[in-house]
Structure 1
Amino acid sequence: MVSAPLAPLALLDTDSLISAEDRAIRDTVRSFVDDRLRPEIADWYETGEVPVRELALEFGKLGLLGMKLEGYGCAGTSATAYGLACMELEAGDSGLRSIASVQSSLAMQAIYAHGSEEQKDAWLPRMATGEAIGCFGLTEPDFGSNPGGMRTRARQDAGGDWVLTGNKMWITNGSVADVAVVWAQTEDKVRGFVVPTDTAGFSATTIKHKMSLRASVTSELAMDDVRLPADAVLPHARGLAGPLSCLTEARFGIIFGSIGAARDCLETTIAYAREREIFDKQLAAYQLTQAKLADMTVELGKGMLLALHLGRLKDAGHVEPAAISIGKLNNTREALAIARECRTVLGAAGITLDYPLMRHANNLESVLTYEGTSEVHQLVIGQAVTGASAFR
């Protein structure tokens, strides 16, 4: 017996859990991804070159940049709508979602939450339109999971100017950015600085030879006695709580984004299995194939329900950072497992760029470990439920 197939998420009717306004935003982004990004993404991934500036302007016209922030030309949407936009962008490619989420949840969020009114007015309207691109300099070559050990230093001289020295690594948008939010050790704890990238002594080098996130610009930042005015410091952030709060915002988008990549893999695989014949029988009709597809459908549905629940909590204003860690840990881990399993169903065809599976799998290897590795999130959750820190 053959019946009309249901989309994997339709089995749980997850659309009924999304408001009409948020669905409309999601559908707009999905159409943009299908019409504008999908025809180009395989070439961008293969060449390792992506037109970030052009895409930033297009993202800005859609209202995707800083979309859940209020004022300064930002759309002021719900957190759930932002998550759904991330899901659709990452269904296209994780690198494309990273362009928007680093701009929005890291660079713009840092200025919005911790900056002065002058800093907000100077940067946020142009960042919202995509005319100005931002990056977020926290990670260093020797300090990823332990940002408190950073070696970048900022000292204030007698005239009040700040002098910034150090290096940052694995910085998305770094070598195309107009402004960098750079975190540094000072005599008064870790502080954030708004650094125009044309400042003398600042340089950014694009990292090549990546096997993951190839449709995204990743850079190393170098600051050699970069002199900044006294008002370059973010006035409302002292200590690691400032940058870590921004990371929590970025992790929220990843919870949804990873589900987008997994959904794209599973839908592609189901369509392939329905068309492919093996031993004179539809591949989708074999029990082993259906077992794989069923297990992946279950995990995809669970991940989507988790994302929507966390979106509701965030919109209500009482989501715990450890809950965000649950979502990031679970959804990235399961999305990667789905991408890998989907590849097995397609066999050799699954390793080509004719299908998105290996591309998504390679990207998700990075998504699994950035914005906090799986191990870091396990320890965050462990500390929440035991009250004991295992970080040291």
Structure 2
Amino acid sequence: MHHDSITASDLLGIDLDLSDAERELRDRVSDFVNRRIRPGIADWFDRAVFPLELVPELGELGLLGMHLHGYGCAGRSAVEYGIAMRELEAGDSGIRTFVSVQGSLAMSAISKFGSEQQKEAWLPRMARGEVIGCFGLTEPAAGSDPSDMRTTARRDGDEWVIDGEKRWIGLASVAGVAVIWANTEEGVRGFVVPTDTPGFSATPITQKLSMRASIQCDVALKGVRLPADALLPGASGLRGPFSCLNEARYGIAWGAVGAARDSFDAALAYARGRTQFGRPIAGHQLTQQKLVNMALEIQKAQLIALRLGRLKDEGRLEHTMISVGKLNNTRIAIETAREARTIFGGNGITLDYSPMRHAANLESVRTYEGTDEVHTLILGQKLTGLSAFH
């Protein structure tokens, strides 16, 4: 299967260095996106619908918790996971976000910190897409600062009782299980909460201008009573949820490349086919300059993502390196999507073409799992040795 669009902007032949297994996965996910996401995405985005029917298909493709080992998970490499995220986000950020929340956040938390019993109870079903998971960290008053967490879990005999609120929780209204982070007497701990537990409620956030084909919710926890074994035994303090965020941030560094590349591909195809002033607009100097600048940024972002993936597979990846990818790649992706839109003129503001949809989605991608400001200060602290957060 030859994928011209995958390599149109690949001026340095980066994809030529992928292994056969990596390219095979790339083509399989790209084919899924062409068959199952592209035909429906304009309508889903327009109607603000997340296509739940895709969930078991994503499980069948082995994309849910794909970097995890055992319990029905695919056990693929970090680079393979990244490639899959890139191809999914070329379809739509909202679809990639689903896989990220399910695999990098909810399943990762259970896989890293769960008991044997918790892993066996949830991971195989989540890997198949039979159960959707969500990850409750962010709160209405504590977006970028999880250390200000107000949600509490207190012991009551053999049980735990959770009270609090979470916001911007992906998938919560369709999830069967939630990983909820709460303050206890011993600091922040994680809990596995079946969403049918009395006192748990999730309300989708509506009227969004971004990520419309995706679900984000407000979650309320009112006297949610759980057995002692709902506690994630392996996670203590904020290092637990942060290690899951780093998994998600890593996937975003790859995913953003997909959104940027798809925006470029759409603009290139349009520029070749659209005639103005007697020639295709691809033959005009300013259009060529736009295309060249976009392609260069996509190449640099792709090299960063690939470098992160190879380091991750070697066990040499540091969290500050992930911040490089998250900050740079979301930033260039949104600029690329906006620049690509200009090549379409007025036609570019409709859902007939992908760049403005990608640009709108990327407003969320750029904000979640650490804003530009947060990653800038993480890197500033790395460079100077001084924390500027407080």
Equivalent residues of 2:323, 2:375 under 8 A apart:
yes
- Unmatched 5+ residue regions in structure 1? none
Counterpart for residue 194 of structure 1: 192
Answer whether contact 1:154 1:165 (CA < 8 A) is retained. yes
Match for residue 22 of structure 1?
Answer: 22
Query: Quick one: which amino acid aligns to residue 11 of structure 2?
Result: L
Other-structure match for 1:368: 366
Partner of residue 261, structure 1: 259
How much has 1:99 moved relative to structure 2? 0.6
Alignment match, 2:229 = 231
Q: Which residue of 2 aligns with 1:68?
A: 67
Q: Pairwise CA RMSD of aligned residues?
A: 1.2
Aligned length: 387
> Residues of 1 paired with 2:175 and 2:227: CA distance?
20
2:40 is matched with 40
Distance 2:119 2:82 in 1: 23
Letter in 2 for 1:356: S
Quote the residue 2:78 is aligned against: 79
Specify the code of the residue in structure 2 equivalent to 1:86: M
Q: How do 1:87-126 residues align onto structure 2 when only pairs under 5 Å count?
A: 87-126=86-125
1:228-274 residue CA offsets vs partner (Å, 9 max, x unmatched)? 00110110111000000000000000000000000000000001001
Q: Who is 1:301 aligned against?
A: 299
- What TM-score results when the alignment is normalised by the length of structure 1? 0.97
Deviations 1:305-335 (A, max 9, x none): 1110110000001101000000000000000
Counterparts of 2:246 and 2:319 in 1: how far apart (Å)?
7
Q: For residue 149 of structure 2, what is the amino acid of its counterpart?
A: M
Report the CA distance shift for 1:78/1:187 in structure 2 as closer, same or farther (over 3 A): same
Give the Å deviation of 1:10: 3.1
> 1:168·1:222 contact (CA, 8 Å) conserved in 2?
yes
What corresponds to 1:390 in structure 2?
388
Answer yes or no: is 1:221 the counterpart of 2:219: yes
Q: Normalised by the size of structure 2, how large is the TM-score? A: 0.98
Instruction: Specify the alignment match of 2:338 in structure 1.
Output: 340
Q: Which runs of 4+ in 1 moved over 2 A?
A: 4-10
Quick check: 1:145 aligned with 2:144?
yes
Opposite residue 32 of structure 2, the aligned amino acid is F
1-structure distance, mates of 2:263, 2:316: 32
How far is 1:88 from its partner? 0.6
Please name the residue that 1:134 is paired with. 133
Determine the C-alpha separation between the residues in 1 that align with 2:8 and 2:328. Answer: 18
Is the CA contact 1:8–1:301 (under 8 Å) kept in the aligned structure 2? no
Percent of residue pairs identical: 60
Match of 2:49 in 1: 49
Q: Corresponding residue for 1:9?
A: 9
Counterpart AA for 2:154: R
Structure 1 residue 17, shift from structure 2 partner: 2.4
Q: Is the 8 A contact 1:7 1:267 kept in 2?
A: no
Matched residue, 2:269: 271
- Distance of 1:104 and 1:6 partners within structure 2: 24
Q: Which amino acid aligns with 2:110?
A: I
1:212 aligned counterpart, secondary structure: coil
